[in-house]
Chains A and B, each alone.
Chain A
Amino acid sequence: MVVVESAGITDVGCKRTGNEDSLLVDDRMGLYIVADGMGGHQAGEVASRVVVETMKSYMERFADGSEVEELEDEDLDLTQEANRLLASIRLANSSVYSISQSKESCRGMGSTVSAVWFTGDSFVAANVGDSPIYLIQGESIEMLSVPHTVIAEQAAMGNGDAVKIDEKFRHMLTRGMGVLDTVDADICENQCFKGNTFVICSDGLSDKLSPPEILAVVKDEKPDKACARLVDMAKERGGDDNITVIVIRVKNVRRDSGFLSTLFKKLGWS
């Protein structure tokens, strides 16, 4: 059982008129999602909202313990929990895809998705697109998500700034929600520890603030204050895009300890 303190904000920013980002902060389910939509004429707003709502309703069925169909294409290299989260992403992808295929005004829309789900004493992080998920442990900040952009993939290959790529192409996603009828998300799962802090955001924030800057704000503030401060900083620096951020701090992890360790703990030996 992971006990967390969380907060999330979305802000239209300084330059845009509409907000294409959507978010979910659900402490009961332990589910946190940021989706950054794309596509003209409000289609981006539709895409990101459909992603969040579809995932939420799918995961709710699972959380309530009500009947959920068996997964058809379970990845045996992942835990059952990771497979559940993946299934919700796949379902959200087909929802967005079918709307974009059937409605003229939504043609070509898409979205990113980055989600963290706490289960038992662990977490599962999954992403499609370029909305980062950071994990802060003490003084270190690392990215749990894998950015699916051409430029990031270049950097990962060690090509770094030797590559000259057209500006338009730089931010081009190599994967997106609702772009094709299937989608492949990147997954990371691990144990959770007291004090771990997760930050999920849209690129409206990560384009303006470096990971060390995010670390500096988040480690000293409570989640709600940290979110407000991060959004303010991104806006002070131009706020070119919509800004969304969720901060989740792990307050306690109750583990299912074995009989002996419980006994020894009671005796004060451990």
Chain B
Amino acid sequence: MQTPWTDQKIQERMRLKVGLAEMLKGGVIMDVTNAEQAKIAEEAGAVAVMALERIPADIRRDGGIARMSQPAMIKQIQDTVSIPVMAKCRIGHFAEAQILEALGVDFIDESEVLTPADEKNHVDKWAFKVPFVCGCRDLGEALRRIGEGAAMIRTKGEAGSGNIVEAVRHMRQVQEGIRRLTVLREDELMHEAKELGAPYHIVLEVAKTGKLPVPNFAAGGVATPADASLMMQLGAETVFVGSGIFKSKDPKPRAEAIVQAVTFYQDPVKLLEISMHLGEPMSGLDIATMPEDQKMAGRGW
């Protein structure tokens, strides 16, 4: 029997999926809720847009069940911009994912920002032609998602909070986990795989290469050019900005500034110049005082 790792066709397809993630590196992916915002994002230099009905800050405020966006609304955004269009499905909701694939979205985010549809299982992403990105809080979670066929990993952060602390925690956890694998003896890796709850063969690969086999992006709480630079310096290869742009006072210059901050993340003088004269960022939420049931990062298994 063929497994996804020995099936040549599936691996060739994976090359295309990871390939698109590679093309997005050094860029900013922006959440947009309509065609007009999508246009602003494209003009500001976004490498892709995430089409969703409500940005995380509003999902948080409104409560209720958050589902896949209306296909007609996603279609309108696809017709407006020429950059890749991403959309979210609920964790484990493979039927939503099938509909998004039929719609021709370029990337699916199996996202904790929406209400999970399955309390144990994530989508079998090998079964799809369209690439998937999944969130993680640590290395074990990242490697489980890669084992399911994710072509891109991102931190979960705490979406819609405007607070970078969770994204930093998750990125550091992943990086620390990777560094640990590279110094363990080979005969210790099976036990480590057990502790991580991660597929052994991917643990072996990461131990050898010292990096994830797919691109590693940052998401959840990015609100300023400095936040974007921080995540890039911690090892992110691209940044997702959700509520941070269209919840700020003046979205366009902020979008442009964050795009530049990702390219020049190692250049403080340039970052200073970029950060000058920006309006008010979105107001933020304190994670420490946030009730447990309102945290999105805990969703996903």
| A is bound by B | no
